[in-house]
Amino acid sequence: MEYEAKSGADLSKAERKQMRRAEKLAQREAAARRKARRRQLRWLAAAGVLVLIIAVAARLASQPGSAVSQPDDAPVLAVLEDDWVRGEAAAAATLIEYGDFQCPACGAYYPILNQLEEEFDGQLRVVYRHFPLEQAHQHAREAALAAEAAGRQGKFWEMHDVLFERQTTWAVKPAVRETFADYAAELGLNREQFVADLDSPAAVERVQAQQKSGVRLRVNSTPTFFLNGERLEYVRTYDDFRQRILDVLAQPAV
């Protein structure tokens, strides 16, 4: 048996009222379901963002260049007997630079460091460690070896200064060995010994060892600085360095 649906005109007042209630109830239920769905989506989105943040933070912490020094970094950040050091051993502040003699940025920081050493004489000691970026600077390793060769005759820092002060001159040359030998002669070094020491296993091993220590500290660019064991980030100007050093000097002696 078939029944015909009643039209609006055939519905009684009570039936129309009941139908309106049913429609409103259905609308409220649909609205509630939409609201619950939106709330669920918001929670899922928030959870996804949180997971992403945690994943990114974990990745950054594990990548080279992380600003956080790890406990096992302490032996590497300690000043070693064979480090090249300028300044008093009793200085309260120790600034370690991982540098590349052909790096323009290192050259730009060179006068800043000189000014800091002058202002904080007796309070600051500077340590230079080799980190030649050969992929970018073709003469970087040879310059590091030149400084080591000069160091074997007691003139590391003098050669260090000359290499930075004349960086724009030698960096563009196709070959630099003779130029570096000329610098050595100007510094009063024995030229023949200097040339021989450029290829010495001791010089090569020293450069490699210091570069490996930088890799262990997640150094991936030059210059990279550590002040009393803390990696310096966002330090660009003389005033930036000066304030960091003042902060260290203001700390109570241990």
Whether residues 40 and 117 share a domain: the answer is no
Residue 163 parent element (H or E): helix 156-165
Given a contact cutoff of 8 angstroms between Cβ atoms, the answer to whether 142 and 110 are in contact is no
CATH of residue 185? 3.40.30.10
So what's the pLDDT on residue 21?
A: 67
- Quick one: pLDDT band at residue 74, thresholds 50, 70, 90? confident
The boundaries of the domain holding residue 147 are: 71-250
The rounded distance, in Å, linking the Cα atoms of 179 and 183 is 6
Whether residues 134 and 177 share a domain: the answer is yes
Total of domains in the chain: 2
Whether residues 40 and 77 share a domain: the answer is no
So what's the pLDDT on residue 40?
A: 62
Predicted TM-score of the model (pTM)? 0.72
Whether residues 78 and 137 share a domain: the answer is yes
Section 20-42 average pLDDT? 64
Summarize pLDDT for 94-140 with one digit per residue, the tens: 999 999 999 999 999 999 999 999 999 999 999 999 999 999 999 99
- Quick one: pLDDT band at residue 61, thresholds 50, 70, 90? very low
| DSSP letter for each residue of 234-252 | S--SHHHHHHHHHHHHHSP
- Quick one: pLDDT band at residue 14, thresholds 50, 70, 90? low
Whether residues 92 and 182 share a domain: the answer is yes
The larger pLDDT score, comparing residue 163 to residue 41, is at: 163
So what's the pLDDT on residue 225?
A: 98
So what's the pLDDT on residue 53?
A: 37
Query: Could you tell me the two tokens for 26?
Result: 């259905």
- Quick one: pLDDT band at residue 50, thresholds 50, 70, 90? very low
Mean pLDDT of the chain: 84
So what's the pLDDT on residue 55?
A: 43
Given 62, 87, 108, the domain boundary residue is 62
Whether residues 152 and 198 share a domain: the answer is yes
Residue 211 parent element (H or E): helix 201-216
The rounded distance, in Å, linking the Cα atoms of 189 and 148 is 13
Summarize pLDDT for 191-231 with one digit per residue, the tens: 999 999 999 999 999 999 999 999 999 999 999 999 999 99
- Quick one: pLDDT band at residue 24, thresholds 50, 70, 90? low
Whether residues 113 and 38 share a domain: the answer is no
Q: Which of 155, 156, 176 is nearest to 166 (CA)?
A: 176
| DSSP letter for each residue of 74-142 | HHHHSPPTTSEEES-TT-SEEEEEEE-TT-HHHHHHHHHHHHHHHHTTTTEEEEEEE---TTT-TTHHH
Tell me: pLDDT of 37 over 90.
no
Section 68-74 average pLDDT? 58
